[in-house]
Amino acid sequence: LPWCTTGTSCTMADITREKYGIDLSDIQAARKRLGSDVHTTPVFTSSTLDNLTHRQVFLKCENLQKVGAFKFRGALNAVRKLPAEATSVVTHSSGNHAQALALAARVSGKTAHIVMPSNSPQCKQAAVRDYGGIITLCEPTQAAREAACSAIQASVPHSVIVPPYDYLDVIEGQGTMALELLEQVADLDAIVVPVGGGGMLAGVALAAKSLKPSIRIIGAEPELADDCAVSKAAGERVPLPAPTTTVADGLRTSLGLLNWPIIRDLVDEIVTVSEEEIVAATRFIWERVKLVIEPSAGVGVAAVLSPKFASSTATSNNSPQQLARVGVILCGGNVDLDHLPWAKKQ
C-alpha cells in the first residue's frame, strides 16, 4: 500500500498533496495568511505534572487563543481563502468552531450562520451570538447538523459551507499550531492531541511529521467517543454508532473523511480515557496550573496521566523514558461556569 503504516517513520517525500490534499507548504502558507491576527499561544509547564508523568510535559495553550480555542486558526484561514463574492458562511458546531467562524466572518465583513446541537453549552451559544453569529438549533446528530446546514445554504444567497473539521482549508489552519510548538520547544519526542472530528489531529500530524519524521503523534480520545481508536484498530474509518454523552462536548463527533487518511497513516496511536479521568485531569489543570480549560482539553492531559500512555508507548518499542519531552495540546477553555464537570448536582 502507498501510505506509511502506523509506527513507521515517514519522510517528507511520503507526505504529499497528491496523497492527502495538502502538504507542509500549505500549512506554512496558512501561517503567513493568518499573520498576527491569531495569537502565538504560550507553552506552560508544571513540575507537579512532570513528576506525576515521569517526563517533561509542555502544554500548548490554545485555550488562550482568540475565541478561547484552536478553532480560530482553521476558521480564519478558510474564510480568508474564500472568493470575494462569498458574503456569508454556514457551518455546524457544538461550540468552538461556531465561535471561531462567527468571529472570522465578522472581522472579514461576512455573515455567519451557525447550526448548533440543542445540547451545546449555553456559554458557547452566548459567545456565538456575541460574535455576530446567527444560530439555528438542531437535534444532536450528524445527520441533523448537515441537513440544517444544507437548508440554510440553499436559502441564503452567496453562502459557502465551512465545515468544522472535514475541510482542507481548516486542516491547514489547525496545523499551524504544530509549527509554533516545534519552534517553541526543542527536541519534542511526542505530541498528544485530543481528537473528535480529527481536523486538529490531522493538521498537527501532517505538519509535525513533515518537519520531524521521528516524532510520535498520539491521539487522545474519550472512551465514550472512541471512533478514532476503533478506526485505527480496524484499519478503516468506523463512525460513532450513536450520539455520545461524553463530558468532552467538543469531541462528540466522528472522524472526517478527509482527516482519516492522514490520521490512519501519520498518527502512531490513540489513547482512550474514562470520564472520571477527563474530569480529574481538567480539575488538576485548573487547580495546579491555574489555567481554565474545558474537558475536551482535559482529555489530552488525562492521556499522559493514564497508565495506558506508558504501557502503549512501551509496546511500540518506546519506553516511557524515551518519550522524555511530550507536548500536549490544550485545545480550548470555553466552560459553562454554572455547570462545572466536578460540581455536585443539586
Question: What's the rounded Cα separation, in Å, for the pair 102 and 88?
Answer: 10
Task: Name the grid cell of 4.
Answer: 506509511
Task: Name the grid cell of 237.
Answer: 474509518
Question: What's the rounded Cα separation, in Å, for the pair 111 and 91?
Answer: 11
Out of 88, 94, 120, 306, the active site residue is 94
71 is catalytic: yes
| 88-92 vs 56-61, strand pairing mode | unpaired
User: Where do the H-state alpha helices sit in the chain?
Assistant: 17-20, 24-34, 47-53, 71-80, 96-107, 122-130, 142-155, 168-184, 199-211, 227-234, 259-266, 275-284, 295-305, 307-314
Contact in structure between 270 and 195 (CB atoms under 8 Å):
yes
C-alpha distances out from residue 52 to 60, 229, 274, Å: 18, 25, 18
Out of 60, 66, 71, 232, the active site residue is 71
Question: What's the rounded Cα separation, in Å, for the pair 87 and 43?
Answer: 36
SS3 121: coil
Task: Name the grid cell of 312.
Answer: 502503549
> Minimal CA–CA distance to 89: which of 140, 196, 162, 176?
162
> Minimal CA–CA distance to 168: which of 145, 199, 194, 197?
199
Other C-beta atoms lying within 10 Å of the C-beta of residue 277: 20
- Just list the catalytic residues: 71, 94
